Amino acid sequence: MDGTAYTYVVRATSSGSPSFTSADSPTATATADATPPAAPTTVALANGGDAGSAYINLANRSSLSVNVTLPAGSLASDTITLTLTSGAGTVTRTMPASAGAGVAAFTGIDVPALGDGTVTLSATSTDLAGNVSAAKTATATKDTAAPAAPTAAYTDSKAPTADRIAGAAETGATVTANRTVPSAAGPYTATAAAGAYALNVANTAGTGSVKISVTYLITATDAAGNMSTATTLTFLDAK
């Protein structure tokens, strides 16, 4: 019965004839415990993007942080086990629990064994008797494929109409343009829809017949936070 303390002594008896019995061993006591601890209350990526977006990407895949929230009944003698699975890949980490409510902060987790796609995060608590709690689970998306560099073409307009950069980019990606020459300007951003984007940028004009060189660096960043290599767009502007 749980909570009942039992006392044990051990003695040895020989198998020969005559039979001899040893003296009693020192007394040992044990308390019955077959009740698992309470399960963690939440498990979530701590460096997986803004609230509501849980991503494992190129930036955090080798140093993932996961927070496991523990209930008020947690004991310092409990052990928290965190398991991340995706397909056939599994990564497991353990750490001591807190005494009472708290957060078990797992940091520096490298997840090369986990393929891109849905990753299941599962946390359990194990007490000194070996009883394991129910699992608390959550999911995250692993996406380590950076989008392709966007294409870009420049449309030169007369003030007050803004100049425009347009091209192709991964659908849903945020396209960012930063001017580097003749002076820094931006960032100018737009979201690619149906594989295309267009964004307005500040007018830049030469003087009279003198043309000036203008350069923009343009990148695409997907929902997971992966950034493409930069596309360099250079043109001569004269107005």
70-79 pLDDT tens trace: 999 999 999 9
Distance of CA 112 to the CA centre of its chain: 13
The reply to whether the predicted model has a pTM over 0.85 is no
The mean pLDDT of 116-142, rounded to a whole number, is 96
Which of 54-58, 80-84, 106-110 has the weakest average pLDDT? 54-58
Which of residues 203 and 168 earns the better pLDDT score?
Answer: 168
What pLDDT is attached to residue 113? 84
What pLDDT is attached to residue 135? 98
Decide if 42-142 and 153-237 have a common fold: yes
Of the options 1.20.140.10, 2.40.110.10, 2.40.40.20, 2.60.40.2550, the CATH number for the domain spanning 42-142: 2.60.40.2550
Q: What is the pLDDT of residues 95-111, one digit of tens each?
A: 999 999 999 999 999 99
Would you place residue 157 in the very low, low, confident or very high pLDDT band (cuts 50, 70, 90)? Answer: confident
Instruction: For the domain covering 153-237, report its CATH number.
Output: 2.60.40
Q: Is 108 exposed, middle or buried (0-12, 13-18, 19+ CB in 10 A)?
A: exposed
Residue 136: CA count within 13 A, CB half-sphere: 21
What pLDDT is attached to residue 32? 44
In the chain, where the domains are located? 42-142, 153-237
The rounded mean pLDDT for the chain is: 88
